[in-house]
Amino acid sequence: MAKLRFDALDQANNRPSVKVEAPGKISEYFGQDVFDLKRMQALLSPDIYKKVKQAINEGLKIDLETADAIASAVKSWAMSKGATHFTHWFQPMTGATAEKHDTFFDYITGLERFKGSELVQQEPDASSFPSGGIRSTFEARGYTAWDPSSPIFVYGVTLCIPTVFVSYTGEALDNKAPLLKAVEAVDQAATRVCQLFDRKVTRVKPFLGCEQEYFVIDKSLYNSRPDLVMAGRTVFGHNPARGQQLDDHYFGSIPPRIYDFMKDFEIELLKLGIPVSTRHNEVAPSQFEVAPAFEEINVATDHNQLLMDVMNKVAERHDLRVLFHEKPFAELNGTGKHNNWSLITNTGVNLFQPSSSARENLVFLVFLVNTIKAVYHYADLLRASIASAGNDHRLGANEAPPAIMSVFIGSQLTAVLDELEKKGNIKLEKGDNMYMKLGIDKIPPIILDNTDRNRTSPFAFTGNKFEFRAVGGSANTAAPMTILNLIVAEQLTQFYNDVQKEIGKGAEKKIAVVNVLRKYIKDSKKVRFEGDGYSDEWVTEAEKRGLTNIKDTPRALDAYLKDVSRKLFKKHKVLNDIELEARNEISWESYIMKIQIESRVMGDLVLNHVIPTAIVYQNKLITNAKGLQELNINNKEILENINKISNYIEVLNRGVHDMVEERKRVNKIADSRERAIAYCDEVKGKYFEKIRYAVDKLELLVDDEDWPLVKYREMLFLR
């Protein structure tokens, strides 16, 4: 039985690396597969180009005539790059991306064609995508609509058109549509606030830079682990260095095969206009990170989805597998996707950038404090936005951000906010002096300094942006970014109204702003935490502060359906009741499916691999014990091991049997939320750890020669 494992190890160890040549200087091929503004300007007539640009920048609609002209140009361009098909590329609520390919070739005319109407709208077979009951499958009616704000690209032989996916009755069926609406909401609210200070600001756009962590392992080793193949994570496996740091030298250099893989996917990403610069700062063995430069949030979201896809495809060329799962290996660092987020005005000001000017710093403080307050009030929604079966293993685990939403801002900004909060009488003096008195002109630009960082905070201010670190490695950033922009939009709206009220009471504008800020700083203080977010003390302290710590997905999702949330989504036109309920339905079902798969894989591995192997080894020990006894040699220890193995086998047999019975019972629960909770508490909660513990103990006891599953150290220390 161990033959599979050793064959896989053999293959993995003898694989040559696949050499990669860069096609030239990056500037020569960056964005070569993208139909970007530069290319449009070259290939479209000036008035058509102007219309597209307006559509991109101002969200204006494109008429059919313009669409025809664009379609014709984009088709010729794509065909010159070898494309034969086109697809509307979208992000259904399953989490992945989807596409339905159509050929350019028209059988009637015998020519390649691409019409404006095909560019603008397409009907995918919507019945195969989850809709949470919005439409019954027999009337699967949904369509994809072109989103000109994200550029069209050629991927392989296919022209890909980024789209949103909506039902004919107008409900959003994807991750992108709500994001675009939240972006609009935050634009409106932030612009209004900016205009209190600067009338030239007419637009505020959210930006996103995604640091993507991932593991890489050899394809054969991956394929030899049914748990990785089926569930994306190892359900068993003893960590060779459990409880202790792995040696530093493992992290020093990147194995050549992985280096070639990185180089290869970077080239592919750059061609697609994704501005990556790979980082090699692994935290766990075989774990790496890639970080593109930040971009407008919906482009960055598309790019992150595409990045994962490209990495998966390129990995195949190298006989490697990429893992984006949040916790593929127990006891090792999990996998996250740090969402670096900021708001930037059309005048080029990053609203989270402290400066040396007092006026700009007041604006900075407005956005800083309002974001903190938004996180404080809507912590549960933010928590819900990152909830998934995979992320449950990561949030709250040892080395991961806790499930408590708190904000870190660093000691200098803490001092500034404290001072602002405490200062009693604000006197209006001429010019900017007032702010001098409050100390807000003194925010030193050195808070960009890396030393003032707290890696244990789920939501940290990092110099000129916020970094939402609790987002899972495999997640679509659209969900958490929809919530973040939405709650900040709401908070800024409230801020604007509160300032107007103060002004109504006779306060000068800047004084009014400061008054409201001081109140907000007090109100939201509880969410600020500068200490060690991974410590037990924080869990206790957070509870005292009344901060929630929702540990599992089924319950975290409840936040979406609370009255305050429903109102919030409705007010900013992001999602309506039907859409919210449908989304939760899908999320609960998806959670159930994942736990069910994990539970089945566990059962299969235990019954078909682990127990038979343990018995084989136990029989060897029995023969040995008998032999020793015949020779009158002490066999006490061997008998003890035989006993231990028997006990573990019993635990496993009973555990798997009971877990299967539990599943059968739980499957009968009609309500999907209740069923998800039962899967969480009864199936996963009662059995997963117990079964894993026994299997991992057996891995240590059983002869290495017999053990059927590739071990952690074999998977993770690829040479």
| Residue 278 found at the interface with ligand ADP (CB under 6 A) | no
Strands (E) across 34-172 are located at 34-35, 85-89, 101-103, 105-106, 111-112, 121-122, 142-146, 152-155, 158-167
Q: How far is the CB of 448 from ligand ADP (least distance, A)?
A: 8
Q: Cβ distance 172 to 579 under 8 Å?
A: yes
Q: How far is it, in rounded angstroms, from Cα 289 to Cα 278?
A: 7
> From CA 594, how far away is CA 678, in angstroms rounded?
13
Q: Which does 213 bind (CB under 5 to 8 A by kind): Mg ion, ligand ADP, none?
A: none
In the list 158, 224, 305, 340, the residue contacting ligand ADP (rule: CB under 6 A) is 340
Of 143, 165, 265, 294, the one binding ligand ADP (CB under 6 A) is 294
Residues that bind ligand ADP (rule: CB under 6 A) add up to a total of: 15
Element (H, E) at 339: strand 337-345
What b-and-e string marks burial along 62-91, b requiring 16 or more CB atoms within 10 Å of the CB? Answer: beeebbbbbbbbbbebbeeeebebbbbbbb
User: Which range in 60-68, 208-216, 499-507, 693-701 contacts Mg ion by CB under 5 A?
Assistant: 208-216
Least distance (Å) from ligand ADP to the CB of residue 56? 20
Instruction: Please state, in angstroms and rounded to a whole number, the distance separating the CA atoms of residues 260 and 246.
Output: 25
Q: How many other CB atoms sit within 10 Å of the CB of residue 512?
A: 20
Give the one entry of ligand ADP, Mg ion, none that residue 337 binds, where binding means its C-beta sits below a cut-off of 5 to 8 angstroms depending on kind: none
252 vs 549: CA distance, rounded Å: 36
Q: Is 338 in the site for Mg ion (CB under 5 A)?
A: yes
Contacts 24+ apart (CB under 8 A), 692-695: 692/235, 692/236, 692/330, 692/602, 694/648, 694/651, 694/652, 694/655, 695/236, 695/605, 695/606, 695/610, 695/648, 695/652
CA distance 114 to 87: 11
Residue whose CB is less far from ligand ADP, 118 or 467? 467
Interaction between residue 464 and ligand ADP (CB under 6 A): yes
The Cα–Cα gap between 265 and 310 comes to 7
CA distance 334 to 285: 11
CB of residue 293 to ligand ADP, shortest distance in Å: 4
Tell me the window of 247-255, 290-298, 499-507, 618-626 that interacts with ligand ADP (CB under 6 A). 290-298
Taking each helix axis as running N to C, give the angle between helix 636-667 and helix 611-630, from 0 to 180 degrees, rounded to the nearest 10. Answer: 160
Cβ closest to ligand ADP, residue 209 vs residue 410: 209
Does residue 291 bind ligand ADP (CB under 6 A)? yes
Nearest to 605 by CA among 220, 266, 229, 124: 229
**Whole-number minimum distance, CB 209 to Mg ion, in Å?**
9
Choose the contact partner of 330 out of ligand ADP, Mg ion, none; CB within 5 to 8 A by kind: none
Check: CB of residue 380 under 8 Å from CB of residue 559.
yes
The interface partner of residue 342, options being ligand ADP, Mg ion, none and the CB cut-off 5 to 8 Å by kind, is ligand ADP
Q: Does residue 207 belong to the site contacting ligand ADP (CB under 6 A)?
A: yes
- Considering beta carbons, is residue 173 or 374 the nearer one to ligand ADP? 374
Q: Could you tell me whether strands 142-146 and 287-292 are parallel, antiparallel, or unpaired per DSSP bridges?
A: unpaired
Nearer to ligand ADP, 236 or 468 (CB): 468
Q: Residue 521 binds which one of Mg ion, ligand ADP, none, with CB within 5 to 8 A depending on kind? A: none
465 binds Mg ion (CB under 5 A): no
Give whichever of 291 and 484 is closer to ligand ADP, judged by the CB atom.
291
Distance CA 33, CA 159 (A): 9
Rounded to whole angstroms, what are the CA distances from 411 to 372, 450, 466, 543, 612?
Answer: 15, 13, 15, 23, 57
Q: Do residues 466 and 460 lie in contact, with contact meaning Cβ atoms separated by under 8 Å?
A: yes
**Nearer of residues 291 and 666 to ligand ADP, judged by Cβ:** 291
Closest among 85, 90, 233, 235 to 173, alpha carbons compared: 90
CB of 467 to Mg ion, least distance (A): 5
DSSP-based helix, strand, coil % in the chain, nearest 5: 55, 15, 35
Residue nearest to ligand ADP (CB): 209
**Any contact of residue 211 with ligand ADP (CB under 6 A)?**
yes
Which residues, numbered 211-230, are part of the site for Mg ion (CB under 5 A)?
Answer: 211
Q: Give least dist CB 207 to ligand ADP, A.
A: 4
CB of 468 to Mg ion, least distance (A): 10
Binding range to ligand ADP, per CB under 6 A, among 155-163, 203-211, 243-251, 359-367: 203-211
Nearest approach in angstroms of CB 59 to ligand ADP is 21
207 touches, from ligand ADP, Mg ion, none (C-beta below 5 to 8 Å by class)? ligand ADP
Closer by beta carbon to ligand ADP, 166 or else 291:
291
Chosen from ligand ADP, Mg ion, none, partner binding at 222 (C-beta under 5 to 8 Å by type) = none
Candidate segments 112-120, 334-342, 495-503, 640-648, binder of Mg ion by CB under 5 A: 334-342
Is 350 among the residues that bind ligand ADP (CB under 6 A)? Answer: yes
Rg (CA), the chain: 28
| Identified binder of ligand ADP from the candidate list 130, 209, 237, 354, rule CB under 6 A | 209
The footprint of Mg ion on this chain (CB under 5 A) covers a number of residues equal to 2
Secondary structure class of 46 (helix, strand, coil): helix
In the complex, the smallest distance separating the C-beta of residue 240 from Mg ion, rounded to whole angstroms, is: 28
Binding residues for Mg ion, rule: CB under 5 A, are 211, 338
Site residues, ligand ADP (CB under 6 A): 207-209, 211, 291-294, 340-342, 350, 462, 464-465
